[in-house]
Structure 1
C-alpha cells in the first residue's frame, strides 16, 4: 500500500489530544498566552489551543470564540472561562481566568510605575508605537487563520456574511449590537442548512 505524499500528510490535521487538560495545565497555558501578547492575545490563544496542545479543532475554536462575542465582557476573557469550564467545570474556568488575568496584571502594575517616571522619553514613545503596529499585524493574521476553515469548506455564504459585517461595522460605523442581531441568526440558519445538507 503506497504511503501518503508529504503534501497530503501536511493537509491532514493532527488528531486532537484525547486527555483533557488539568487545572495546572489550564493555568499555565493561559498564563503563557497572556504573557505572549501585546495589545491582544487572540493569535497566541489560537496557536496554543489549536496547534500546540490540540485541545480544540480550528472549527471548534472559531465557534467558541464567536459565542464569546455575545457574552458580556472582553472576548478573550470569556474564551478562557468558557474553555476552562468545558474541560474542568467551574474550577477549570477559574484556573484559566486566573492564568489569563493574574500574570499580566502584576506586569502592568510594574510597567505603570516605570512609565510614570520615564513616560516622557521620546525613544519609549516610538517603541510603543512600533509595538502597537505589531499587535495590529498579529490580529490580522489571527483573523485570516480563523477564516481558513470557512475557505476550506467553501462556505461562500458565511464568508459573504462575514464581509457584510465588516463593511457594516468597520466602514459604515453601524451599531455593533444591531448588526450582530441581524447577522447572527442569518449565520446560524446558513450553518444549520449546510449541516443538514451534508448529513
Structure 2
C-alpha cells in the first residue's frame, strides 16, 4: 500500500500536513499518536492499521523519542529521504516555537491560581487521550491475532496485559519487556511450526 502513495503529493503539501499535526499536538505522545493515526490511516490512507501498528512497534524498540522516529519513518515511506526531513521539520517547528513562547509566558504566570487550575484539568485530559491511543493501537493487534487463531489471540492478550504489568508494577526496563515479548512470540511461532 505504501509503495503506491499519491505521486502528486508535493513536499510543500506534506510539510503543511505535518505542520498542522504539530500545531495540534497538545497533550503529549498519546494525543499525537492518535492524530498521526487518523491522518495517515483514515484521512490519506498512506498506511494500513497493521502497517501503522508494526511501524510504531519498531519505533518503540529504538532508543530516543519514538514519535520523532515514527514521523521520520512515515515521511520516508511517503516521499523518501526528502519526505522524512519535511515531515520532521513540519512536526517540530510548531512545538519548538510554542515551547519557547509558553516558557516565557509560564514563567511570568506560574503562581497564578488560574494557571494552576488550568494545569490540573490538562493532566486528566492527556491521560484520556493516551488511553484512546492505546486502544487504537491495540485493536489491530488483537484483530489480526484473532484471525490467526485462539492461541495467537491468547498470546497477544497475555503480551498486552503482561507488558503493562511488567512495566507498571515490576518496573522492568522497557527494552527488557520488548525483548521478552519478542522472544515469547518467536518461541510460540517456532512451536507452532513443529
- TM-score with structure 2 setting the length: 0.83
Q: Deviations 1:41-68 (Å, cap 9, x if unpaired)?
A: 1111111111111111111100000001
Aligned residues: 181
1:6 matched residue in structure 2: none
- TM-score with structure 1 setting the length: 0.81
Q: Give the conservation status (yes or no) of the 8 Å contact 1:30–1:100.
A: yes
Whether 2:111 is the aligned partner of 1:120: answer yes
Moved over 4 A (4+): 15-18, 188-194
Identify which of structures 1 and 2 has the higher relative contact order when contacts are C-alpha pairs closer than 8 Å and 6+ apart: 2
Q: Deviations 1:60-115 (Å, cap 9, x if unpaired)?
A: 10000000112221111000111111222221111111011111110111111111
CA distance in 2, matches of 1:43, 1:189: 32
In the superposition, relative to structure 1, how do residues 192 and 89 fare at CA in structure 2: closer, same or farther (>3 Å)?
Answer: farther
More helix by share: 2
In the superposition, relative to structure 1, how do residues 152 and 112 fare at CA in structure 2: closer, same or farther (>3 Å)?
Answer: same
Across the aligned residues of Structure 1 and Structure 2, the Cα RMSD in angstroms comes to 2.3
Gaps of 5+ in 1: 1-14
CA distance in 1, matches of 2:83, 2:143: 32
Q: Give the conservation status (yes or no) of the 8 Å contact 2:142–2:156.
A: no
Of 36, 41, 49, the residue aligned with 2:24 is 36
Whether 2:53 is the aligned partner of 1:65: answer no
CA distance in 2, matches of 1:59, 1:191: 19
Q: How far off its partner does 1:189 sit? A: 5.8
Q: Give the conservation status (yes or no) of the 8 Å contact 1:77–1:97.
A: yes
1:19 matched residue in structure 2: 6
Q: How far off its partner does 1:137 sit? A: 0.5
CA distance in 2, matches of 1:28, 1:188: 41
